[in-house]
Amino acid sequence: MTAYWLMKSEPDEVSVDDALAAPKSTVPWTGVRNYQARNFMRDGMRVGDGVLFYHSSCAEPGIVGIARVASTPYPDPTQFDRKSPYYDAAAKREEPRWMLVDVQVVEKTRNLTLPELRSTPELADMLVLKKGNRLSITPVEPAHWKKIVRLLGAKAA
């Protein structure tokens, strides 16, 4: 049973173009330091799950690509890297605190912007649109996924 997810990335950090330019169009989803979001990656995701690649904290926030979960969960290496902004002194190698998955971009799309998402009645219940939502990873209902893929005219199903 394939599940669907929305994953936010700041394009200044990793944009959909950056991901496309990476080997196999695949990037490790580093830097998540929120337990709920971590748990989605660690416990909820399966290889092949659908991902909506979302740009946040930028001029035009929105969904900019279709991707897929491309690995099983493994420890986020940046938690052990003293020079990384994501370094976590409390994380031990024997007992990693932060887990991530690899994400592979399947298709770059147009930007389905936040205002457009908000103005689409069928998408009103999306978690990412809820007031005050700050979660960088949210599950996506199959019906919402289908609607968005249709709005994007994306090939990926």
Partner DNA sequence: GCCAACGTTGGC
Binding residues vs DNA (CB under 7 A): 8, 10, 33-36, 56-58, 61, 114-115, 131-136
Shortest distance in whole angstroms from residue 125 CB to DNA: 15
Shortest distance in whole angstroms from residue 143 CB to DNA: 22
CA dihedral 152, 117, 25, 88 (to 10 degrees): -170
Contact 19, 26 (CB under 8 A): yes
Query: Residue 25 or 138: which CB sits closer to DNA?
Result: 138
Query: Residue 8 or 68: which CB sits closer to DNA?
Result: 8
- Neighbouring CB atoms inside 10 A of 37's CB total 20
Shortest distance in whole angstroms from residue 149 CB to DNA: 20
d(CA 104, CA 19): 7
Contact 24, 69 (CB under 8 A): no
Query: Residue 60 or 122: which CB sits closer to DNA?
Result: 60
